[in-house]
Structure 1
Amino acid sequence: MEALLILGGLLLILAGFIWLISQAFATSLLWGLGSLLPPLTLAFVFSHWRVARKALILSCLGVIPLIVGLSLLASRDAERLEAIFSLRWLPTHTQPELAMSVRGKLNGREFAPQRGEIINGVLTLREGQGFFARQEVTIRLRERFEGALRMDVLPDDIGTLPEVEIAWLSQDQQLPESRRLDRGYTLHLDLQPVAPNKLRGDFHLVLPPQFETSLTGVVELYTDRLRYLDGQVDRRHDSRDTVVFVIEDYLQRRHASRQVTLETVPTFTLPADELELDVQAQIKGERQTFSLRLGKSEQGWQVKGDDYPPLAESVDAVVSARKTTEAVNAETPPSSLDRRLRFSMEQVLRNPGRYQHLLMRAHTERGGVAEGRFGGLDSEGNLIIRRVIRGPGEATYNLAPGEIVLLELVEP
């Protein structure tokens, strides 16, 4: 709806301007040429008001739906409006993602790959952006590795060796041709980890003469399908790894713990604007199922309804330290450790961080009782109490201090 209003307003403004220019040309050739410049256009309007007023009124009518459309867009998707005015939709020249300097021939043709990855033991160098690469080299490693990777294979080597596959797409073909071999070639790899998710180093591959393939240089390879921007995961990148990262981050913040392990995530197709997924995860050792809706905005993928605060890096460390302190001081008199002795509403409002994640019970003036973990204070000073309910859910209570008649701290 907003797009139609904005487009309609722009068309009316453009139609009024074209009509105004035609009226200027009808008056005289000099006025017509001069009205193409904005200052002289205004001069024509003032000096020939009777002729120009209808065209000017038409343009002014176009301003109304334009403003209404922009207002609706700002209220529904402010980031998209900001992107429009900041001209982020214009094409820009970007630097290559990977520093590739490997060169050579593949099947007798020049080969200069722009993309590379090594995921699940499969190294891929690819040239071309289509579904099928124009040219591609795939090396399937037989052994798992962690960190750096160094490997040397000679033509006379025997045993279980990596499988090498080359593929190319000719101009008169719709499907690529490929060749495979598992011995008789020369391969040298010396790759070192580069934070956060790359390997970089020397690459050298020579196949038997009939394959007309020889490559050498320095390669840079992704080790997963996450992309990073300013040190943070780029949520705008369409990949399964990005969606899994978003779900994991959401569950960690939702349960205020990093003890979250995704077990099953169903298959889905990208690119997409929305996803509905049923996932299983281990939350602090307990298996749970979650039905999640994800959407993609200007900022990237996010779970619908996600308003949980960022998870502190030391949440689990604080919990662990608290348990250790309690164990060490088990013989200490309870009065020195029990925070319930001096607990009050004023103490919570004065120092909410001291009671973070502790179990509380709030009795309201309406007779209700809200029991759960204390989540701090919101922007309006209300107490946040979270309670995990049966199944994949959580109830959040936002209670104003004035409506609480009794606040109890259930645990020390």
Structure 2
Amino acid sequence: MDALLILAGLLLILVGLVLLVMRGFATSLLWGWACLLPPLTLLFIVRHWRHAKQALGCCALGMIPLIVGLAVMAGQDPQRLEAIIGLQWLQPEQPASGELDIQLHGQLNGEPFAPQEGELIDGVLSLREGQDFFARRELSIRGLPVGADGLRLDVLPDDPGQLPEIELSWLLPDQDLPEARQLKGGYTLHLDLRPEEPNHLVGEFHLVLPAQFQTTLTGKVELFRNGLRYQQGKLDRTVDSRDTLSYLITDYLQRRFATRDVQLAPLPLHDVTTGSLALDVQARVGGQEQRLPVRLSKHPQLGWRIDDDRFPELSRKDDSAPSAAAAKPVVSPPPMQLDARPELTLARLIAEPARYLNQSMRLFSEKGSAVQGQFAGVDEQGQLVLRQRLNGSGEARFTIAPADVVHVERIDE
């Protein structure tokens, strides 16, 4: 509907402009040519208003459906309006993020489906259309048996047993949350994916769901197989993912112990969107268990890096024979061990207030003052609450708005 209103408005404006030029030529040949030049067109309208007013009226009528159509589009699909105003439709189509080449034909829930993002991680294949938090349309297939040599799978509607679970979701323009449908059998699926460097899976994709789902997709897909991203063949360190941190820590341990024989244990769960992390890393290095603290920080341009990393690149000679340093486990003496607890920040305190209840801490305000006490949670107004025990039989409670807090410090008792 919005496209029809915009098109009707543009056609009326075009008719009005053509009529204005015709009125100019009807006045004189010179005025006709002058109407083709915008500055002189205004002069013709002023000098010959009686002849030009009908053409201007047609243009004014065209502005009404044009403005209404743009307003409707802005409310239903602002990304589409931004693309039209920014003349993005004149630019040649490119794969999303300049990395993935997804060529799928068909529909999802009866609508054309053109995903820009795709991944197959931990047995879950996901194809997304749209860059918002909720995808405009998304297809997920769970329980896929991915191996080191890729994935080849064929499923028919009558196949028995436990099959991969398929989930469809779509977000309508007037809805805040997407709708979803799940299917555990009765579909046709063909996957033939092979690994490609650095971290892609490429191959054929064919999916046909029962008629009531109105979903049929076929073509070629290119998917990420982990959370790493690359720019011009080099790791993009600015990406906030656990795979990025695991890659950096593994490389750090290989250079620190001068050996490629490093098996990193799964990293503990942390909020990777913060600017710094303090991790207690466990790894098997040269056949021996190691446990050591690692601190990471994120530079705005350079991305994630490991603090105090002074170890050189690993040479080829070091690949085959671990050095003597690798044979000796590094055991930090108990007095020097770092606090394994996650660093306390204002963002983490607001996001997980229940985790820090009754812990002693100190809050510093913008004015330089500090409030110390035991954390009592967040009140109904969203303010942080600290309580202090008085000398007598009672306690005092302090509240401070998160916007006034510049630093949070844990107090070990």
Q: TM-score band, normalised by the shorter chain?
A: 0.5 to 0.7
Contact 1:199 1:222 in 2 (8 A): yes
Query: Aligned letter for 1:156?
Result: D
Query: Aligned letter for 2:215?
Result: T
Aligned positions of 1:159-238 closer than 5 A: 159-238=161-240
Contact 1:148 1:199 in 2 (8 A): yes
> Does the alignment pair 1:317 with 2:258?
no
Cα distance per residue 1:301-331 (max 9 Å; x no partner): 1111111111113414145xxxxxxxxxxxx
- Greater mean deviation of Cα atoms: 202-211 or 150-159: 150-159
Distance (Å, rounded) in 1 between the aligned partners of 2:97 and 2:278: 34
User: Which residue number in structure 1 is paired with residue 68 of structure 2?
Assistant: none
* Structure 2, unaligned runs of 5 or more: 1-93, 335-413
Contact 2:145 2:151 in 1 (8 A): no
User: Which residue number in structure 2 is paired with residue 300 of structure 1?
Assistant: 303
Distance (Å, rounded) in 1 between the aligned partners of 2:313 and 2:208: 50
Query: Aligned letter for 1:162?
Result: P
Distance (Å, rounded) in 1 between the aligned partners of 2:204 and 2:302: 36
Residue in structure 1 matching 2:262, options 255, 260, 267: 260
Q: CA RMSD in A?
A: 2.5
> Does the alignment pair 1:391 with 2:394?
no
User: Which residue number in structure 1 is paired with residue 109 of structure 2?
Assistant: 107
Cα distance per residue 1:261-299 (max 9 Å; x no partner): 212411112322211111112222222222221111222
TM-score by length of 1: 0.54
Shift in CA distance, 288/213, structure 1 to aligned 2, threshold 3 Å: same
Contact 2:291 2:331 in 1 (8 A): no
Query: Aligned letter for 1:221?
Result: L
Cα distance per residue 1:192-238 (max 9 Å; x no partner): 22112111111111111111111111110111111123333222222
Contact 1:289 1:392 in 2 (8 A): no
Cα distance per residue 1:92-111 (max 9 Å; x no partner): x9853200111321111221
SS at match of 2:98: coil
User: Which residue number in structure 2 is paired with residue 139 of structure 1?
Assistant: 141
User: Which residue number in structure 2 is paired with residue 153 of structure 1?
Assistant: 155
Distance (Å, rounded) in 2 between the aligned partners of 1:179 and 1:285: 47
SS at match of 1:166: strand
Distance (Å, rounded) in 2 between the aligned partners of 1:183 and 1:95: 34
Contact 1:185 1:207 in 2 (8 A): yes
User: Which residue number in structure 2 is paired with residue 376 of structure 1?
Assistant: none
Contact 1:135 1:168 in 2 (8 A): yes
Shift in CA distance, 235/207, structure 1 to aligned 2, threshold 3 Å: same
Contact 2:292 2:330 in 1 (8 A): no
SS at match of 2:265: strand
Aligned positions of 1:12-411 closer than 5 A: 96-297=98-299, 298-319=301-322, 390-391=331-332
User: Which residue number in structure 1 is paired with residue 367 of structure 2?
Assistant: none
Identity %: 50
Distance (Å, rounded) in 2 between the aligned partners of 1:285 and 1:307: 24
- Greater mean deviation of Cα atoms: 161-170 or 285-294: 285-294
SS at match of 1:102: strand
Query: Aligned letter for 1:213?
Result: T
SS at match of 1:174: coil
Contact 1:288 1:391 in 2 (8 A): no
Distance (Å, rounded) in 1 between the aligned partners of 2:333 and 2:213: 56
Contact 1:142 1:160 in 2 (8 A): no
Contact 2:105 2:113 in 1 (8 A): yes
Cα distance per residue 1:56-80 (max 9 Å; x no partner): xxxxxxxxxxxxxxxxxxxxxxxxx
Distance (Å, rounded) in 2 between the aligned partners of 1:299 and 1:196: 20
Query: Aligned letter for 2:187?
Result: Y
